[in-house]
Structure 1
Amino acid sequence: MRNGEIVDRTIELLDQYVFPEVGRRAADAVSAARGRYGDELAPAELAALVTEDLQSINGDKHLRLQFTDEALPLSTGEKDADDAVEYEVEAREAARRAGGVPKVERLEGNLAYVEIELLWPPVISGPAMAAAMTLAHGADGLILDLRRCRGGSPDMVAFVCSYLFGPEPVQLNDIYFRASDETRQFWTQSHVPGPWLGPDLPVVVLTSAFTFSGGEELAWDLKELGRATLIGETTRGGAHPVDRIQIHPHLRVTIPVARSVSPRTGGNWEGTGVVPHVEVPADQALARAVAHLLA
């Protein structure tokens, strides 16, 4: 497939963008920049240039032509088939990355520390996350480290939050889908694998300027509900869930098709990020969290 065809397909998919007028403006920006996308460009170079032009309209960091190191099957347009491929890809990566939970340990003062790098769906990484939460049981405080979290599933966000409340469901976040004009609500679960950590355990969430998407949602929900203290840096600011369409073995369009909506304020963190309660450089956030909890 020539680069011009890849660009044409990208422009076509912008019709699905959650804000139609912004999608049209992004399509115009990419079309006007065709001279930059010569066939001499390698896929990674093309992805970087097209992404730059896509994001020039409103800064939506979810809107990308994304390069993938692994060669992946092209999207078929059949949802079940494409979802099956996506599941296989995510399951392989999750298995290589400890289910997105690379570190769980006890710190001084009987504080539990759980690092989360990616919130894969519970059907993929539920056992890994449940194991981490089980190991945190009995601690006198919990630190959730999202400083390297690049995103993930809102279902996994709800799964993690469920451990931090009780069996009575709590509404976390809503997502509005443009295509169906419907809103899906996300609530904590009335049952969790293993023991509850409960609503009284002190919780600190660590954030950085890298924290993105699903990681931001987890921080946002716990902050809005007054369930955690956030320490670190303001996050990247991506609140638009995406569809991923593989249009070349190494290139896929990530197209925002929905937007997060707080059931309490109607807002979200798109473009602004989640602002922590205590702002410190990311590399100082853990020490500050330990001091906060021990105090």
Structure 2
Amino acid sequence: MTSPHEVVVAALARITAGYVFPARAAAVDTALRRRLAEGAYQGLDERELCERITDDLQRACPDRHLRLLWSEEPQPMDEEPEDVARARFAQYARESNYGVRRVEQLDGNIGYLDLRMIAPAELGGPAIAAAMQLLSPTEALVIDLRQCRGGSPEGVQLWCSYLFADDEVHLNDIYERSTDSVRQYWTLGHLAAPRYLDRPVAVLTSGTTFSGGEELAYNLKVLGRATVVGATTGGGAHPTARFPVSPHVTVAVPTARSVNPVTGTNWEGVGVEPDLAVSADDALGTALEHLRTLLG
């Protein structure tokens, strides 16, 4: 087992070098080294060590993406070749059907999309187009993000593009620390299936909805394109990289941050608040009632 000192030092090196807020990284460094000196990490197995360090990380810097992750299976310490990482993720995305769990026509000709992951556009484009093609005849749409834990900004961009008329809608910006640059995300001009326009949309959320799932809900809410129904989301707005610090421990480091062009901020730490606040279990029924009222 790697010692607590080795885990803390290796994790802090990655956080200091890459965390999107360098001043906060300095505070994290001070807090974890103090806890290490106090002996707070002695006598713990690696899984317990990850949990304890993560608790201390988030006390020093409340960012739910910033954490240590334990893996039962050992992992290589060398950086994974990019082509291997891409192939592994592509397989995962394919086995997850690119996040599209279910597409259905509900009573009253209301479309229902159960979306569990936001796949990258280059991988998930055909599945996303197929879903939107099936939903195109419906008169209203429910997008269920209650179990969507995240995904790709480019995937969010593609899903959003189907709900707006053209390529002139500014969706989100992402600031990248490593390049000190901002990338803008706008709706796309060319799509492989019909756009879903001039019809009401409801988005379902829960406390599980996180990261890329939150961005989709947030974008549609602040642009007035959808009514968000359910519970406040988890509150993670920072794109994140993962680095091995021992054969069984990985540190997740947010290396960028979202900046919404409408609000000038994002949902980090506060989540996306619903327009119609109900329990996650009641969200679908409430959304259907809302949409049927709009449809008359």
Above 0.5 in TM-score? yes
Q: Pairwise mapping of residues 152-191 of structure 1 onto structure 2 (< 5 A)?
A: 152-191=151-190
Alignment correspondent of 1:218: 216
**In 1, Cα distance between the equivalents of 2:206 and 2:27?**
31
**In 2, Cα distance between the equivalents of 1:250 and 1:130?**
38
Q: Deviations over 1:205-257 (max 9, x none)?
A: 00111111111110110011100000001111111111221233432211111
Alignment correspondent of 1:252: 250
Alignment correspondent of 2:70: 67
Residue type at the aligned position of 2:149: R
**In 2, Cα distance between the equivalents of 1:85 and 1:24?**
33
Q: CA RMSD in A?
A: 1.7
Alignment correspondent of 1:37: 41
Q: Which runs of 5 or more residues in structure 1 are unaligned?
A: none
Residues 107/122 of structure 1: CA separation in 2 closer, same or farther (3 Å cut): same
**1:17–1:23 CA contact under 8 A, matched in 2:** yes
Residue type at the aligned position of 1:245: F
3-state SS of the aligned residue for 2:250?
A: strand
Q: Which runs of 5 or more residues in structure 2 are unaligned?
A: none
**1:90–1:120 CA contact under 8 A, matched in 2:** no
**In 1, Cα distance between the equivalents of 2:213 and 2:71?**
21
**In 2, Cα distance between the equivalents of 1:8 and 1:218?**
36
Q: CA deviation at 1:181?
A: 1.5
The two structures have a TM-score, normalised by structure 1, of 0.92
The two structures have a TM-score, normalised by structure 2, of 0.92
Alignment correspondent of 2:206: 208
Residue type at the aligned position of 1:106: Q
Q: CA deviation at 1:70?
A: 5.1
**In 2, Cα distance between the equivalents of 1:125 and 1:134?**
14
3-state SS of the aligned residue for 2:228?
A: strand
Residues 93/283 of structure 1: CA separation in 2 closer, same or farther (3 Å cut): same
**1:137–1:196 CA contact under 8 A, matched in 2:** yes
Q: Deviations over 1:92-120 (max 9, x none)?
A: 32233222111111111111111111112
Residue type at the aligned position of 2:282: Q
Alignment correspondent of 1:149: 148
Residue type at the aligned position of 1:36: A
Q: CA deviation at 1:139?
A: 0.7
Q: Pairwise mapping of residues 113-128 of structure 1 onto structure 2 (< 5 A)?
A: 113-128=112-127
**2:243–2:252 CA contact under 8 A, matched in 1:** yes
* Alignment equivalent of 2:291, drawn from 287, 290, 293: 293
**In 2, Cα distance between the equivalents of 1:227 and 1:197?**
11
Percent sequence identity over aligned pairs: 46
**In 1, Cα distance between the equivalents of 2:51 and 2:225?**
38
Q: CA deviation at 1:50?
A: 1.4
**In 2, Cα distance between the equivalents of 1:72 and 1:87?**
16
**In 2, Cα distance between the equivalents of 1:44 and 1:259?**
28
